[in-house]
């Protein structure tokens, strides 16, 4: 026999856990490698990528050099809706 108070808490906890997991997935940092054409396009609009100091939600630099290649880093939700 389940107590009535516990029956009401289970759906609320399920929804809360689902929302928290959804936020964690949406806000996780993602770095996408850029090809030479993408780098040229960004530099055409503004200053060279090496000089840029923008940071994302986590305080990570938006443009990063990794293994000799430039990467564009944002949260997953930014890639889903704004790129």
| pLDDT recorded at residue 3 | 63
Q: How far is CA 53 from the centre of its chain?
A: 17
Average pLDDT over residues 64-82: 87
| pLDDT recorded at residue 20 | 97
pLDDT in tens, 20-67: 999 999 989 888 899 989 888 888 887 887 788 888 777 888 888 888
Least trusted range by pLDDT, from 2-11, 15-24, 58-67 = 2-11
How far is the C-alpha of 52 from the C-alpha of 42, rounded, in Å? 11
């Amino acid at each position: 026999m389940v107590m009535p108070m516990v029956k009401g808490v289970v759906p609320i906890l399920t929804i809360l856990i689902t929302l928290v997991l959804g936020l964690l997935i949406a806000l996780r940092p993602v770095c996408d490698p850029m090809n030479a054409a993408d780098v040229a396009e960004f530099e055409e609009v503004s200053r060279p990528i090496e000089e840029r100091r923008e940071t994302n939600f986590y305080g990570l630099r938006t443009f990063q050099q990794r293994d000799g290649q430039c990467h564009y880093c944002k949260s997953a939700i930014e890639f889903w809706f704004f790129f």
